[in-house]
Structures are given as structure tokens and as C-alpha cells.
Amino acid sequence: MIEPNHDEPRVKVTREPLTDFGYERVPRGEKKARVRGVFDSVAPRYDLMNDVMSFGLHRWWKAFTIARTGLKPGDFALDVAAGSGDLALGLARRVGPTGRVLVTDINRRMLERGRDRLLDRGIAGNVAYVQADAEALPFPDRTFHGVTIGFGLRNVTDKPAALREMCRVLKPGGRLLVLEFSKPLLGPLEPLYDAYSFQVLPRMGQLIARDAASYRYLAESIRRHPDQETLKRMMERAGFERVSFHNLSAGIVALHIGFRL
């Protein structure tokens, strides 16, 4: 009979927690790389696809957001997951030459695209660009009068961590504005919205951006994103006060606003 050797080292098997990547479940450490791949692919046609897939409405959604930032000339603002820079452009105009806007994105290609677009619009002296992860913002506490994130939160792996970071870097009295696709209130028209999202949108992605898979992921990520009330509660747990939201285009998009007190 062979006695067990209790001195042998035990192999500890650990399994990395899973998270959503669209409708897939992937290891948390893998999601950022996969999201980066999506935006590396779509960056060259990102703005054209935004216009086509929203029928131009994204411009109104973003203007609505900028109008509610409460920012004044001379203020300090942060745009997180800035993409091609539409919100950053509005922030820069709002704070003026005496203010300052920091633009961040985890994806270098999108950050470069945003920088080039703002330069083409003559926006330079009051804007700086930092490649950064929303879950670990490289800025001191209580730095900004306002923070925005537009159509980026649903791609973040750890959303509560990102919300806590955005709260941390706000000054007391500053506000966060989260513009994101949400739970539509379409009633009997909801099947049409689903058909558009899962059939038409990937086909447009293939035709215009030569990438159906990335736009299929984007449609799936919208369905996995928290609904309006859930996101409101998440913001409150992250430290925000007086959290409210506006449903835009029948709730297809929602703007959440929260204050750091």
C-alpha cells in the first residue's frame, strides 16, 4: 500500500472571473483587448457609421449633453472614453481659452482620431490628450469641474470601478454626465428596433466599415448594458448624489447626471 505524500506541493487551480463581451462570456482580463480590437477596426469609419446608424441623431444627443454640463469659461473638464472627440469639442468651446479639457481613451487609434478631428476644427490650446483606462484615471482627487463619458461606459469591464474613479476626480459640486444607449420604451415597435440592431446594423457595418462582427458586438453590448434605473443606482453606490436621467429618443439613449457633493 502506498501512503500519500503530504509534503508534495498542491497545485492551486484558479479560474478568472468572467464578464460580458456582447452575448459572450469571456475572462475579465481578455475583454479590454477584445474591445480594443473592435475600435481599432472601426476607427477609420467610426464617424460615418455614427451618422448612418443613428440617422444623425447622435449629434443632437451630444449637444443635449453639453448643454447640461454646467461648465463655465475657465473650468477644468474631463472627457472619458472620448472616441473621436464630439463631446470633447463641445467641452472645449464651453470652457473657452482660459479653461482646460483633458481627453482620454484606452484606445490609441481612437484617441489619435479625436485629436486630429479637434485640430481640424481649430481646437488646440486648451485641450490635452492622455491614453488612460477609465477604471484607473491618472489624475488627482478633486481635479475637474465636470466629467463626461459618451457611449463608452458599456464597453468598460468594471463599470462600478470606473464610476468611482470619475466621482473621485470631480471637485465638490462637479457633475458627471453619462450618455449611453439604454432600455428603449418603444412598446409594439420594439421588434423593429431589435431587427434593426441585429440584422440591419451588422450589414451596414460590413458595407461601410468592412466589419460586421464589430457592429454585431456593439448591438449586443447595448442589450447587456444596465437599464436606466439600474445605472442610476450604480452611480449612487459610486458616491454620486442627486442622480437623475433623461430619456432621449424614447429611451434608446439616456443621459444620466450625478453630482459629487
Residue 9 has pLDDT above 80, yes or no: no
In angstroms and rounded to an integer, the radius of gyration of the C-alpha atoms of the chain is 20
Torsion of CA 203, 205, 207, 209, to 10 degrees: -170
The reply to whether 118 falls in a domain is: yes
Q: Count how many Cα atoms sit within 13 Å of the Cα of residue 85 in the half-sphere of its side chain.
A: 27
71 compared with 33, residue with greater pLDDT = 71
**Residue 182 falls inside a structural domain:** yes
Domain count, the chain: 1
Position 6 in a domain: no
Tell whether 5 is covered by a domain.
no
| Assigned domain for 4 exists | no
Tell me how far apart the alpha carbons of residues 156 and 242 are, in angstroms, rounded to a whole number: 23
- Its pTM stands at 0.91
Each residue's pLDDT tens digit, 242-251: 999 999 999 9
Q: Pick from 163, 183, 201: which is nearest to 52 by CA?
A: 201
pLDDT value of residue 10: 53
Give the domain range for residue 57.
19-259
Residue 164: CATH number of its domain: 3.40.50.150
Q: For residues 10-48, b (16+ Cβ closer than 10 Å) or e, as one string?
A: eeeeeeeeebbbbeeebeeeebbeebbebbebbbeebbe
Place of cell 479639457: 101
pLDDT in tens, 188-217: 999 999 999 999 999 999 998 888 998 999
Between CA 255 and CA 253 the distance in angstroms is 7
Segment 138-143 long-range contacts (CB within 8 Å, at least 24 positions apart) = 139/78, 139/102, 139/169, 140/169, 141/168, 141/169, 142/168, 142/169, 142/170, 142/171, 142/172, 143/76, 143/78, 143/169, 143/170, 143/171
Please check whether residue 13 lies inside any domain of the structure. Answer: no
Q: Residue 122 domain-assigned?
A: yes
Q: What is the pLDDT of residues 35-63, one digit of tens each?
A: 888 888 888 888 888 999 999 999 999 99
- Whether 11 is in a domain gets the answer no
Measured CA to CA, the distance from residue 91 to residue 102 in angstroms comes to 10
